């Protein structure tokens, strides 16, 4: 048996695992395949021990910033792949403190009247 034919079962297994991963991503309720969110952060000259969220309730009409270490993670407006970007920035993304002083980012919330400066209008 040649070395190429002995690799076929492994390639089949890799293909099956990849197919299962795609199905799981599609079935998780998001309706699209998206990577992990990219956290928007700004380096500052001060140091925050632990994690501090100025908008702990993640209210759509309140601008918030998460502070941790030498970085701040502000709420921001953007476009999501599920929405028409020609309508302008309508999607609000908010940061929050997770357990272990790590930073999380919410899924985009489509603001009914648009989004400006990290707040729904």
Q: How far is CA 86 from the centre of its chain?
A: 21
Token pair listed for 56:
């702990």
Q: What is the pLDDT along the chain (121 residues), one digit of tens a residue?
A: 555 667 777 777 776 776 666 555 445 444 444 444 567 889 999 999 999 999 999 999 999 999 999 999 999 998 875 655 566 678 899 999 998 888 998 888 999 998 999 999 9
Report whether 120 contacts 113 (CB < 8 A): yes
95: β partners: 105
Tell me what pLDDT residue 11 has: 73
Distance CA 65, CA 29 (A): 28
The model's pTM: 0.63
Q: What is the pLDDT of residue 16?
A: 72
């Amino acid at each position: 048996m040649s070395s190429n034919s002995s690799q076929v079962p492994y390639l089949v297994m890799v293909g099956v695992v990849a197919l299962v991963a795609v199905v799981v991503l599609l079935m998780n309720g998001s309706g699209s395949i998206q990577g992990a969110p990219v956290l928007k952060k700004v380096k500052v000259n001060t140091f925050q021990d632990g994690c501090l969220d100025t908008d702990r309730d993640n209210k759509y009409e309140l601008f918030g910033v998460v502070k941790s270490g030498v970085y701040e993670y502000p709420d921001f407006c953007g476009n999501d792949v599920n929405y028409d970007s020609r309508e302008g920035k309508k999607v609000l993304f908010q940061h929050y403190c997770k357990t272990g002083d790590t930073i999380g980012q919410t899924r985009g919330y489509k603001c009914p009247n648009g989004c400006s400066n990290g707040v729904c209008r």
